[in-house]
Amino acid sequence: MARSKSIVGEARQIERAITLIQLGARLQVLESETDLSYERLLRLYKEVAGKSPSKGQLPFSTDWFMTWQPNIHASLFLNIHEYLNKAAALDEIDTVIKAYQLYTEQMSSQGLEPLLSVTRAWRLVKFVDNGMLTMTACSKCGGHFVSHPHEIARHYVCGLCNPPARAGKGKLAGSLGAQAARSLALSAEMEH
Ligand SMILES: [Zn+2]
């Protein structure tokens, strides 16, 4: 991304930073995705969020994305992201922002809690970019799910088609499963 020193360019970066803060992004995301100084970002964060940013490391592991419910949420987000990536000419970070907004809209329209934070969504895209994670089509339902790159597609069964035994009785989990399945199917349709 060409980074402009113009006032308009800077205004655009501040706007992006504000949107990311409102979505709950960690300060490290803002540092990585804008040219604004740490001091300015810190001030902006306090002004917009009304509190100091939380300290500590970002989650660096891919493990979280492989657990059952998070995997369904992450897959939902990534399907939307892939679709926007192909359909809209947006800067990378704007694609993440837009996809995350659509993901949270979908969650709130189902009355569900978005398990995926914007920081994790951002990391997920990085993991996919550097080949640590990918998407594999489920051999049963055909939906595309976040997986390790070495997954053998022929044998791969997603968490919706093969939920863990403990999930069987969960009403909420069940409704999320069905909704997510529909959304994933929709995303698959959009590709064609
Ligand atoms: Zn499946």
Q: Record the pTM.
A: 0.86
For ligand 1, the distance from its centroid to the CA atom of residue 164, given in whole angstroms, is 13
Helix-helix angle 38-49:7-22, to 10 degrees: 50
- 168 Cα–ligand 1 center, Å: 16
Ligand 1 mean position to 138 CA, how many Å?
Answer: 5
Output helix, strand, coil percentages for the chain, rounded to the nearest 5.
Answer: 60, 5, 35
pLDDT digits (tens, 9 = 90+) for 112-148: 899 999 999 999 999 999 999 999 999 999 999 999 9
For 162, the 3-state DSSP assignment is coil
Q: What does the pLDDT look like over 34-63, one tens digit per residue?
A: 999 999 999 999 999 999 998 888 877 899
Contact between 142 and 184 under an 8 Å Cβ cutoff? The reply is no
CA of 43 to the centre of ligand 1 (A): 45
Distance of CA 67 from the midpoint of ligand 1 (Å): 15
